[in-house]
Structure 1
Amino acid sequence: MSHHCDFRFYGELNDFLRPPLRRRTVVHAFDGTPSVKDRIESFGVPHTEVDLILVDGGAVGFEHRLRGGERVAVYPTFQRLDGLPRLRSTPPDRFVLDVHLGALARYLRLLGFDCAYANDATDDALVEMSRTEHRTLLSRDVGLLRRAAVVHGGFVHETDPRRQVREVLDRFHLQEHTAPLTRCTRCNGRLADATPARGDVPESVLGEHIRFRRCLSCGRFYWPGGHVRRLRGRLAEVGVRI
C-alpha cells in the first residue's frame, strides 16, 4: 500500500537534491513502513551529512519508521538547535581521506591532524579504516558516504584544496585544535627535534644551524624555509593561519 509524507531538507543538504526538489517541501510516496534513513538516502542525501531529523516536530533517530502523513524536516551537520539531540556522537578529529583528496590530506597533516591517506586505497579499505580506527571519512563520493558501515563522515563540497581545508576546519570546529608542523606531510608520522648528519639535508641548509625536525616514521627531515612561508601565504588567503 502506498503512503505519502512531506519532506523538507535544509542548508547544504539541498546540494544533493535534484534542482526541482531544492528548498521546498516535497510530497514523497513510499510503500510499507521504511526507516526515515532509507527515505532520506533515496533522495541522494548521505546519512553522514544529517545531524537532526524532526518528524512532526519531534526529534527521531535514523531507525524511525514512517507510516504516512508525517512532516519530516532534515538538517545538516552545521545546524545547531539547542536542546535537541544529535544523531551521533561528536565526530573524531582523526581522518581517513579518499583517493581524490591527496592535497587536502597534506594540508591537514601540515596543520597537525592525523590523516590516513593512500592513493590506491579501495572503498572497502576506507570504510574499514574509518570503522576500526575511529576516523572520520572525508570524500567527494556520495555513494561511499551512503554505506551503512560509515558512522562518521563528511562530504567535501569545495574543489580547491585550500578551500577544502577551510571547509573541514569550519565543519568540525577545529580552528583551535591545529598544531602546525608537527606531522609529516608525506607519511602522517609525528615529527621530533633532531640533528641531521651530513647527507641528511642539503649542505647549504646544514650550515645555517637552524632547527631541524625528523619524522619518527619515515625519517624525513624538515626545517624552516621558503616553502613554509609560501604555504603560510597560500592558506592565509582562505583564512587559515599556521
Structure 2
Amino acid sequence: MQTVVLTFDSSLTPLLPLALRGHPVARTWADGATLKHAIEALGVPHTEVGQVLVDGAPMGLEAMLPGRGHVAVSAVAPLVPTAPLHFLCDAHLGATARLLRMAGFDTAYDNNYADAAIEALAQGEDWIVLSRDRELLKRRGIRRGAFIRAREPQAQMREIVMRLRLADVAKPFSRCLECNVPLRMLSPEEASASVPPRVRERQRLFSTCDACRRIYWPGSHWARMNAVLADMLSPQAGVSIDPPEAAERMSRTGSAGA
C-alpha cells in the first residue's frame, strides 16, 4: 500500500466528495494504481484533467502512482478548436445538441445510446463526448470529452462555447436541426412549390436538408433563434447579431435558418 497526497485546482474541487474539498487529500492506494485511477476514484474524470505534477515533475495519467509524495492536479485549459469537431451528446443533453447543430456543429444525439456504444463511437470516430455523467467520461475509450456542469440548455451551450472556444468557428444555420445534415442552398424557383405563398412573396433565401427535405428560410422564428444563438456565442458581450447582418452571412456561407 502507498500513501499519496493529492491537491486539486479550485475549479475541480466541486467534483470531489464534499468532505474532501478545500484541502489536500491523503489516501492510501493499492500497489499498481495509476494516476488516472487515483484521480477518477475521487470523482474527477480524465477529460477534466490538465497537467498533473508528481513532486513537481509533469506525468501522464497512465503513469503509476509513486510510493509516496505529492500529486498536483490542474484543470484542463480551454481548448483551441482542432479538426475534426464532431460532438456526441448523451441522453442528458438533447436540447443542447440541437443548439450545437443550430450553431453549425456536427452533433450526434440519440437518447437510446448506451454508455458502451458512446465509448465505441468516441474511440472509433474520435467524437468529442459531452455529458453530465462523470462515470461515462471516465471510460478509457473516451479521449476527448467534457463534463457539462450547467443544467439549463442555453447555459450548457455557453459553457461549451467558452471551454472549447467555438465562437470563432461557428457556422450558424448551416445544418438541419433534425438530421444534422449540412444544408444546401435553394433558389427561390426551386423552393416555390414547397413553401406557402406568403413566404414566396417575402423571402429570397432558402436552403434544404437533403435527408428530411425540410426547407429553411429567415423568417420570424429564425430571427428569434438568431438572437438567442448570438447571445450564446458571445456570452460576455451579451449582444445579438442584427438580422440583416446574419442574413447576409447566411447568403455568403450557404447556411440558412427556419
TM-score relative to the length of structure 2: 0.83
CA–CA separation in structure 1 for the residues paired with 2:121 and 2:75: 24
Match of 1:234 in 2: 228
Match of 1:84 in 2: none
Q: Is the 8 A contact 2:78 2:165 kept in 1?
A: no
- Structure 2: state its 5+ residue gaps: 242-258
Q: CA deviation at 1:68?
A: 2.5
- Structure 1: state its 5+ residue gaps: 81-88
Letter in 1 for 2:24: T
Q: CA deviation at 1:237?
A: 4.6
Task: State the SS of the aligned residue for 1:132.
Answer: helix
Structure richer in helix, relative to its length: 2
Q: What CA deviation, in whole Å up to 9, does each residue of 1:40-63 have, x standing for no partner?
A: 111011111112111011110011
Q: Is the 8 A contact 2:132 2:148 kept in 1?
A: yes
Task: State the SS of the aligned residue for 1:100.
Answer: helix
Match of 2:64 in 1: 65
CA–CA separation in structure 2 for the residues paired with 1:79 and 1:100: 22
Change in 2 beyond 3 A, CA 1:90/1:55: farther
The alignment status of 1:153 with 2:145, answered yes or no, reads yes
Letter in 1 for 2:96: L
Superposition RMSD in Å: 2.0
Q: CA deviation at 1:189?
A: 0.2
Change in 2 beyond 3 A, CA 1:92/1:154: farther
CA–CA separation in structure 2 for the residues paired with 1:63 and 1:166: 32
Q: What CA deviation, in whole Å up to 9, does each residue of 1:126-172 have, x standing for no partner?
A: 11111111110001111111111111111111111111111111111
Letter in 2 for 1:140: R
CA–CA separation in structure 1 for the residues paired with 2:160 and 2:73: 21
Change in 2 beyond 3 A, CA 1:138/1:91: farther
Matches of residues 1-242 of structure 1 in structure 2 within 5 Å? 2-78=1-77, 92-194=84-186, 195-198=190-193, 200-238=194-232, 239-240=234-235
Letter in 2 for 1:128: A
Match of 1:86 in 2: none
Task: State the SS of the aligned residue for 2:202.
Answer: coil
Q: Is the 8 A contact 2:86 2:126 kept in 1?
A: yes
TM-score relative to the length of structure 1: 0.89
Between 30-39 and 226-235, the greater mean CA deviation after superposition: 226-235
Runs of 4+ residues over 6 Å off in structure 1:
none
Letter in 2 for 1:204: R
Q: CA deviation at 1:33?
A: 3.1
Tell me the percent identity. Answer: 37
Q: CA deviation at 1:9?
A: 0.9
CA–CA separation in structure 2 for the residues paired with 1:63 and 1:42: 14
Q: What CA deviation, in whole Å up to 9, does each residue of 1:59-88 have, x standing for no partner?
A: 1001111232211011111279xxxxxxxx
